Amino acid sequence: MNDSLPTDPALSAHLAHLHRAVAHEHAPRGVEKELMAAFAAQFARRRWYHALSPRQWTLAGASVAMAAMVALTVTLSLALSGAPSAPPSAAQSTVAAADDGPAFVALQPMERIEQEANPRVLEADVPRTALASLGLPVDPQQAGDSVRAEMLVGADGSPLALRLLTLP
């Protein structure tokens, strides 16, 4: 007898009889192929993204969103801090050579500023209400106050650019 059969004599005799009864039986052709196809359909291979649970997808999405927020925050803070994004023009380099303060905000098109032969820098007090027209937020309680600024002025006296020296 087979060594894998149990050692209980009553059970062993019944299993041996069953083994002898089915020994000459064979499955019809194609049964194995059909069984394997049914098994493959029932237990189909899953893609890698099907293996992740909804909780894991939520964690991955939150991580990507956090990374995007950090990148956006860093980009905006660099942009708002006055980090130069392009090489300065001739007019800007003349003014930038004087000091390395905050960047000027152009009030005229860059072509007009670059055409100016001898721009001058003048200090001025600018009313906070004028800052609102430039798109800066103005507190209504401080709307009557003024802000110290430097202005880049052309030869004809027209303002070309503005740089705030005190915070609005």
Please state the length of the chain: 168
pTM above threshold 0.85: no
Instruction: Quote the tokens at residue 28.
Output: 């019809």
Domain ranges across the chain: 1-45, 48-83, 90-164
pLDDT tens digits, one per residue of 30-64: 888 999 899 888 888 878 777 788 888 888 888 88
Q: What is the pLDDT of residues 9-36, one digit of tens each?
A: 888 888 888 888 888 888 788 888 999 8
Helical (H) or strand (E) element with 163: strand 159-164
The torsion angle over the Cα atoms of residues 13, 14, 17 and 18, rounded to 10 degrees, is -150
Strand partners of residue 148: 125
Query: From edge to edge, which strands make up the β-sheet containing 120-127?
Result: 105-106, 159-164, 146-153, 120-127
| DSSP one-letter string for 52-118 | S-HHHHHHHHHHHHHHHHHHHHHHHHHHHTT--SS---HHHHHHHHH---SPPEESS-HHHHHH-SS
Question: pLDDT, tens digit, for every residue of 91-145?
Answer: 444 444 445 667 788 888 888 888 888 888 888 888 887 777 777 777 778 777 8
Residue reference for tokens 């820098």 = 121
**Would you state the structure tokens that stand for residue 155, as one six-digit string?**
């030869």
